[in-house]
Structure 1
């Protein structure tokens, strides 16, 4: 069975077992063409199901709003620790910070005020903000994770206000157009599939009504194709490949969104939330990053994969379903990402000799001792690196960059002690004889903290 046949079989199994009227799936990877698969019936007589069929993606929309927030931060329009009231005139909850709203730790109630999901009427932009006076903070700030559509809706309004336009217009101009996500829209189009509620006890399926979310659109309004969403997932986990010019967001800013702000279940620690992104650990330093989505008649899973053997980088998958209850698709997206690297791993790039370490750092290379433990310093990929001698092979090294015009003072830019300084001390001939990393002394021989070699007895 070919890798593509294995992927297709997994898709067909879930469509049949979960009884999904229409299922559309795509896998994006830079070393292969876009892979797509559709199974079922669109319910739209004018547009049979194909790779161009559009589904509602629900809360995957939040990842777009989160990127818009990070763009505004990078442009100096806000700070993540600013209170909302610094940028929006709100009647309540103005002390909630942007970071807490992004990570669902501000304690705001889940939905906008009112029975939105009963009456199927959403507030407009002005109404959403005015109704904050009636919304609850159901938990203390930063007490724990509590998912809130209201929180991301407020952030969408904040970004729109800062940019001087509507959320939809800002999104098109600053994200969708630069990334070529032409099939991602705020409103359904003629090729939209019908979303259903499938009867649990029979084979009946009834179309669900579709609600325009109005002021809450930044939380869950978008429609898209599986192909567009697989590319979006690839951007979220491989921006340097999908957006090499940084037109949408710098890779460092995307990586900032991965850092866990909270766990979603304190009893399991099986998942976390970053800045607008769901984090799903897969073991062996592999992380799936993205978001799930749900709206009446629709479910979506959009995730990219970071780390692990066989990963080509910028690997993203999307699973879009026209059933509001087929929760099996939430696992399918993760299964497909795993199958992609298991059945069709990226080619192994051959190693080739490179440049030697600069003369100024050659005396640093090799084993050193710090706090009683051995560390190995080396020069790879144009940078000084360090690893604990007994570190697992898959643990990333610490990487250092010299400060401008200070070659003997280096900043740890990633890995252990990120952010800390490494200070080199040289003897008269320029050889490095001692180092201090995060103020801890590193020496060529194992020494006690008061400087006595342990080998001296």
Structure 2
């Protein structure tokens, strides 16, 4: 993966247009001013490269840049989720495993690893008082202190309910299976391979100080900085706009040294239903809809700090916004607006169409119209030798399919995701029909002699007379 940089883009691409940069600057400056943030830094990534950044501040001559650390709050959860997915990919755990299998003796042993990642375990949103974000982690020395006497608010698996204690449990699973502290494992397995040298559990200069801004007066109050202890996997990290830009590229593309593209795509796939009109939640990744766009990323907040990271896979764009105030600018919304600004002003150019380098004649013979009942579908051969099946007209159940070694095809998305498509041949070797999860597709509607469930009337098609 090419780390983001301010260098001119390769292969004839150029930096953002001056009008686009001016629009981004205006949005960022307006957010800092109206949100009354002591400082704010924003960055935009396009096609894996940092193409724009801006810092705004209330102190002349001290604007932050992409190397200034801010606390990123719950974006930490996405990093913790990456560690858990690495354990899954290595076969050390399964997302369906109950917590008890890997972390025995807690009051939440029945909850699965996957439910904890997706916040569907039914656990409380917060640990028992006092407010954990503003008190030392030493007040919660054990997992029992984090979970409290009544750790559940909902039945496990029933609904999405955001849980900070849930990510403490995941961090403890990482420590148990790796035999090292959460922050050491994170540094060794994620931060160093991805070149995130300005991301750390403790602040490293230069870093912003955290402030509370009075709601009714333009005055400030410093916020305390606490070590969160066991709660660290839920919100401890400090990072920079530059490092989070690199992390956004990883979340979009994967990196073989950390997680594959397939695994990060799984993290971005909805695992919990949306609530209140949002886009739902994946595995350690928030999903949101903004102005018709589907975005992935995460928000973060701790007293004195706000953070937002979003990426638009379709447009090859990502944005990061960091501010040092307890409340103020809507940083996730701002990040989404920065993405939209670039996407609308400079839409992504499609890759040139190119024919297949070679043709599988048997696959080519399968293409064209197929009928499910009387509904016409088209089977297409894609550039990657995959298949695409969808209605010829209107909306409907469209899916892409990946070839398997046994000659079947597996659905990758849409209604048929995970379902098996089989090409069924007759005794003479000719293709008889397609079988897709019990649906029979024939070359002609209710084709005579085809194994259509319920049979085909032998009198055939007829008029009304």
TM-score normalized by structure 1? 0.88
Aligned to 1:214: 229
Three-state SS of the structure 2 residue aligned to 1:386 is strand
Structure 1 residues 434-453: Cα deviation after superposition (integer angstroms, max 9, x where no partner): 22222221111111852359
2:456 maps to which of 447, 451, 454: 451
The whole-number CA distance in structure 2 between the counterparts of 1:174 and 1:418 is 31
Aligned to 1:261: 271
Residues 88 and 19 (structure 1 numbering): CA distance in 2 closer, same or farther, change over 3 Å?
Answer: same
Contact residue 232 and residue 316 of structure 1 kept, 8 A: no
After superposition, residues 174-213 of structure 1 pair within 5 angstroms as 174-213=189-228
Contact residue 23 and residue 320 of structure 1 kept, 8 A: yes
Residues 329 and 396 (structure 1 numbering): CA distance in 2 closer, same or farther, change over 3 Å?
Answer: farther
1:137 equivalent in alignment to 2:140: no
Contact residue 134 and residue 303 of structure 2 kept, 8 A: no
Aligned to 2:125: 110
The whole-number CA distance in structure 1 between the counterparts of 2:32 and 2:403 is 54
- The 10-residue stretch of structure 1 (139-148 or 27-36) with the greater mean CA deviation from structure 2: 27-36
Aligned to 1:7: 24
1:39 maps to which of 56, 75, 79: 56
Three-state SS of the structure 1 residue aligned to 2:142 is helix
Contact residue 124 and residue 215 of structure 1 kept, 8 A: no
Residues 298 and 162 (structure 1 numbering): CA distance in 2 closer, same or farther, change over 3 Å?
Answer: same
After superposition, residues 67-86 of structure 1 pair within 5 angstroms as 67-86=82-101
1:420 equivalent in alignment to 2:401: no
The whole-number CA distance in structure 2 between the counterparts of 1:396 and 1:369 is 13
Contact residue 80 and residue 167 of structure 2 kept, 8 A: yes
TM-score normalized by structure 2? 0.87
Contact residue 113 and residue 135 of structure 1 kept, 8 A: no
The whole-number CA distance in structure 2 between the counterparts of 1:118 and 1:232 is 24
Aligned to 1:280: 288
Aligned to 2:302: 295
The whole-number CA distance in structure 2 between the counterparts of 1:423 and 1:139 is 41
Contact residue 230 and residue 317 of structure 1 kept, 8 A: yes
Aligned to 1:440: 439
Three-state SS of the structure 2 residue aligned to 1:67 is helix
- Two-structure CA RMSD over aligned residues (Å): 2.5
Structure 1 residues 76-106: Cα deviation after superposition (integer angstroms, max 9, x where no partner): 1111121111111334222121112111121
- The 10-residue stretch of structure 1 (19-28 or 88-97) with the greater mean CA deviation from structure 2: 88-97
The whole-number CA distance in structure 2 between the counterparts of 1:146 and 1:164 is 30
Q: CA deviation at 1:336?
A: 0.7
Aligned to 2:14: none
Residues 433 and 81 (structure 1 numbering): CA distance in 2 closer, same or farther, change over 3 Å?
Answer: closer
Three-state SS of the structure 2 residue aligned to 1:2 is helix
Q: Where do 4+ consecutive residues of structure 1 move more than 6 Å? A: none
The whole-number CA distance in structure 1 between the counterparts of 2:331 and 2:264 is 26
Contact residue 40 and residue 56 of structure 2 kept, 8 A: yes
Number of equivalences: 438
The whole-number CA distance in structure 2 between the counterparts of 1:421 and 1:32 is 38
Three-state SS of the structure 1 residue aligned to 2:371 is strand
Contact residue 32 and residue 329 of structure 2 kept, 8 A: no
Contact residue 91 and residue 130 of structure 1 kept, 8 A: no
1:349 maps to which of 348, 351, 356: 351
Q: CA deviation at 1:289?
A: 0.7
Contact residue 31 and residue 346 of structure 1 kept, 8 A: no
Structure 1 residues 315-338: Cα deviation after superposition (integer angstroms, max 9, x where no partner): 221100011111422310110111
The whole-number CA distance in structure 1 between the counterparts of 2:64 and 2:402 is 52
Residues 55 and 172 (structure 1 numbering): CA distance in 2 closer, same or farther, change over 3 Å?
Answer: same
2:35 maps to which of 5, 11, 18: 18
Q: CA deviation at 1:396?
A: 9.7
Unaligned runs of 5+ in 2: 1-17
Residues 424 and 321 (structure 1 numbering): CA distance in 2 closer, same or farther, change over 3 Å?
Answer: same
